[in-house]
Amino acid sequence: MEPTKEEKLKKARKIYIDTMTKLATLQKDYKAVLIGARKRVTDEKLAQIRDSLK
Amino acid sequence: MDLNRNKAEPGNFELAKAGSGGSETVQAEKGIGQEVDFLQTSIRNRLSEFEQTGVKTESDIRAIDPKADFNRSELAELEHISGRAKIEALKAEQSLQSIKDQEALDVNVEQNALAENETKENPVLAFFRQQEQKVSGAQYQPLEWKQEHLNVYETLAATHGPFVEIGGPTTEGFEQVDIKALDGKFFTSNIESDIPEFDKSGNIVGKEKVDLQSDARILPFRDSSIGAVFASNLGSAKYNKRILDTGEIRRQAIAEASRVLKDNGLLIWEGGHTEDFVYADEAGFQLIQFKLEMGLNNQPRYNCILKKLPAKS
């Protein structure tokens, strides 16, 4: 049986919401990698400074 | 840089209600294609967040965040996330497109079916429209009930039972019919108790009494008790268009005539409209004969004799 207009619309909205949710999660992951990298660099530089002060 | 910023917040289509059953029907009426277009655009805009911050080389990363100093594993992870985002967006785009294509196909099928139905005219109506085309543009001819081909006398002589004129009495029409040929009583029926009497020029010259004050749609007769019913210009009464000038009333009057007529009883219909034949067909009449003329303003007018067919057992 062919889906009704309402069913098609519901399906389209579910695809949209699922996709937007996944993209939002991926953006958070992306940001976490950037923050992590910055933290690592900062930590490494701090370690270098500490070493130079020894 | 704020990677969580969302450029295309869906506000127009109340997406927060998606799946709750709140506004689906209304939106479906607006057009699925239109809304799916909006959803696709929103997803593309979201993806562009990744494309604008695309991770291709280390220098790209530095352009985004000069303070960052990424190692290879971090770069690979950023590329991986960016790639996954593209894949997710592409998958959604394709799924939404298939919904849109299916809807366009369904709408097309629906429209074709509607168009096909419209062209399938009622066969009764189609027949008379064809007749009208043959005489379209002909000069106006006053109605004459004594037309030989109408054969009113012979047809009436073969009927048995009372004769009723609805919407009468008229100054033309049945008065020219020799009612002595009838073997039953004669009644005039009108929704008014006193109706104007017109002269040949259409001027009111007095009032005429009717035998029965009744609506043509609710006649005061038992089922299958009348031999013949006559009506003249029921759809276009000279002085009471407010009440009678509608097809629905003619349809009901024809159905009522069918109710009161005996089997094989006659409905003599003067000044009928094309649609009246469809109503007569619905009410179980058989057309015995008709005369068509194009009246004033090239409007078709029919004189016809219809016979009530016995109900199928």
Q: pLDDT tens across B240-271, in order?
A: 445 445 688 888 889 999 999 999 888 988 88
0.95 exceeded by the pTM?
no
> What does the alpha-carbon distance between residue B187 and residue B200 come to, in Å, rounded to a whole number?
23
CA B230: distance to chain centroid?
A: 29
Domain B123-308 matching CATH 3.40.50.150: the answer reads yes
Percent of chain A with pLDDT over 70: 98
User: What stretch(es) of chain B map to CATH 3.40.50.150?
Assistant: 123-308
Residue bearing the bigger pLDDT, B120 or B140? B120
Least confident among B38-52, B89-103, B180-194, B283-297: B180-194
Quick check: B74 and A5 CB within 8 A? no
Burial of B125 (0-12, 13-18, 19+ CB in 10 A): middle
Quick check: B24 and A8 CB within 8 A? no
Query: For position B258, what pLDDT does the model report?
Result: 94
Residue bearing the bigger pLDDT, B171 or B230? B230
Query: For position B296, what pLDDT does the model report?
Result: 65
Closest alpha carbon to B245 in B219, B273, B222, B265: B273
Residues of B in contact with A16 (CB under 8 A): 10, 15, 18, 39, 42-43, 92, 96
- ipTM, two decimals, is 0.85
Quick check: B50 and A27 CB within 8 A? yes
Is the pLDDT confidence value at B175 over 60? no
Query: For position B93, what pLDDT does the model report?
Result: 92
Handedness of CA B102, B108, B112, B115 (dihedral sign): positive
Is the pLDDT confidence value at B12 over 50? no
Helix (DSSP H) and strand (DSSP E) numbers for chain B: 9, 9
